[in-house]
Amino acid sequence: MSLAFEALSLTLRGRKILNGISGQFQPGKVTVILGANGAGKSSLLSCLVGLREPQGGSVTLGDRRLLSLENRERGRLIGLLPQRPDIHWNVDVKTIVGLGRLPHAGRWGMSAADHEAVERAMIATDCTDLADRQAMRLSGGEQGRVLLARVLAGEPQWLLADEPLASLDPAHQFDVLDRLKNYATDGNGVIVVLHDLTQAARIADDIMVLKDGAILAAGSREEVMTAEVMGQAYGVEVQITTSNTGEPLVVPVRRL
């Protein structure tokens, strides 16, 4: 099922955030959303998850309007990894990951299938050793893994992540991105908002670039990840090269 948005417009406190934009995402691919601060990335993401109701236009999942779906069904189909790690009570990691099953769970708690999904998610994110630790007391990198496991446990067809790399060191950045990539390879849709251009170039199949609430460019990584587009999007000069071992390097060198 593809996830699409049509003529989406959003105004918050009198400021136009999204300007009647349209686009489409394909399952099985990682789409990275890029853009300067305030370009509308997070707002677009929250419309795609159904957290915000746009003033105009609509989001559709397959042939159904997102906002016509019942809350819990929407929760089963689309998972969100929010920007900031937010854990409130002193609960253990197992419980946190288990919360990801809430959209599936029946009235009387978790079924065997729920427990298996939690188990799989914890294995996929290497959280099994943390199972009984207090989630609040973990390091930033560990919390990132646990919260990703929470989303994976819900087995959503679409996984949307808002700047999942914030506050992660390079090694953990690779870990999180590789897990997202694997999730897409399994046939699910993955949409990620990123600020790190090199990481974006490394992981993206498709890239969508926003500027001032409009879509500046959208397409495959090769088409979009160019010095020209990045220059327009961020107002900086970027150099695009490859490392000795062949990985793309996208480095901002000066302000334009």
Contacts with other proteins by CB under 8 A lie at 46, 49-51, 70-76, 78-80, 82, 84, 86-92, 95-96, 99-100, 102-103, 105, 147, 150, 154
Integer-rounded Cα Rg, in Å, for the chain is: 18
Shortest distance (Å) from residue 42 CB to other proteins: 10
Nearer to other proteins, 148 or 201 (CB): 148
Shortest distance (Å) from residue 72 CB to other proteins: 4
| Nearest to 44, CA basis, from 188, 231, 252, 218 | 218
Shortest distance (Å) from residue 133 CB to other proteins: 13
Nearer to other proteins, 96 or 233 (CB): 96
In this structure, are residues 59 and 53 in contact, taking their beta carbons and an 8 Å threshold? Answer: no
Shortest distance (Å) from residue 233 CB to other proteins: 25
Nearer to other proteins, 41 or 150 (CB): 150
Nearer to other proteins, 23 or 100 (CB): 100
Nearer to other proteins, 32 or 147 (CB): 147
In this structure, are residues 94 and 114 in contact, taking their beta carbons and an 8 Å threshold? Answer: no
Nearer to other proteins, 118 or 147 (CB): 147
Shortest distance (Å) from residue 74 CB to other proteins: 6
